[in-house]
A and B are shown apart, each in its own frame.
Chain A
């Protein structure tokens, strides 16, 4: 988005719109849907952590390496990163705009992408190559 200069006239005009109505509605719905998925993620995470906290690699391969656990975990973790990026966008929109906003948003995308690639990559390694 282009940097906008908001004049007094814009503020006084009841027809002026702030932000992107379509995109914001999409972000709202995305956040609700991924949030529901995150409840499932947290339940699976609780199961996995309770079984594996402090255990050695053999046990990790046995549990997460099982496709029935590993593949859903990988999928749900991917959805978590969508929720993370979308939620952080919400926060950034509140405090930054213009170039600063775009810079932080880029770092946000980068962080979430790294989490997704590293996390899903590690799980798939355990599932398919032990």
Chain B
């Protein structure tokens, strides 16, 4: 009789890459990004309440190429996390958990978040 050796303690690197795993990590990462991003929103609101000069300064910062880059990333992060949250609600009803379905939902999550973000920026910033 052959004796199988005991399994080693698993570590992150030993797992095969999967889209579902990646989307789980990204949901956490976007949660953290949204957490930090709330400071940008509050900075804008406080500047507006404060007076015209602070508001001009914040508008200048947000209007710069770097500010726009950050705000574009923030838009994507919010969109992706929102869709990821809705995915959690689907799972809460024990739906979409089967093999194939969960991969489909994960891909839909990324693709829809990118499409929505580009749509928002195209309609309201680049064209509007």
Contact = CB atoms under 8 A, between A and B. Distances in A.
Interface of A: 32, 35, 38-39, 42, 45-46, 50, 53-54, 56-57, 60-61, 64, 77, 80-81, 84, 87-88, 91, 115, 118-119, 121-123, 125-126
Contacts of B39: 115
19 contacts: A35-B85, A38-B82, A38-B85, A42-B78, A50-B124, A50-B128, A54-B62, A57-B51, A57-B52, A60-B48, A61-B48, A84-B35, A84-B38, A115-B39, A115-B42, A118-B46, A119-B41, A122-B46, A126-B49
A38 B89 CA distance: 14
A64 to B, nearest CB: 7
Interface in B98-128: 120, 124-125, 128
B59 A54 contact: yes
Among A53, A57, A60, which residue has the most Cβ atoms of chain B within 10 A?
A57
Interface string B32-70: 101100110110011011111001100100110000000
Contact of B55 (A56, A81, A91): A56
The 4 residue pairs across chains A and B that have the minimum distance between CB atoms:
A122-B49, A122-B45, A125-B49, A60-B48
A1 B42 CA distance: 33
Contacts of B89: 32, 35
Contact of A87 (B31, B82, B125): B31
A91 B36 CA distance: 14
A91 B29 CA distance: 10
A18 to B, nearest CB: 18
B120 A46 contact: yes
A123 B41 CA distance: 11
Contact of A91 (B32, B88, B92, B120): B32
B35 A121 contact: no
A60 B120 CA distance: 21
A47 B45 CA distance: 15
A91 B30 CA distance: 12
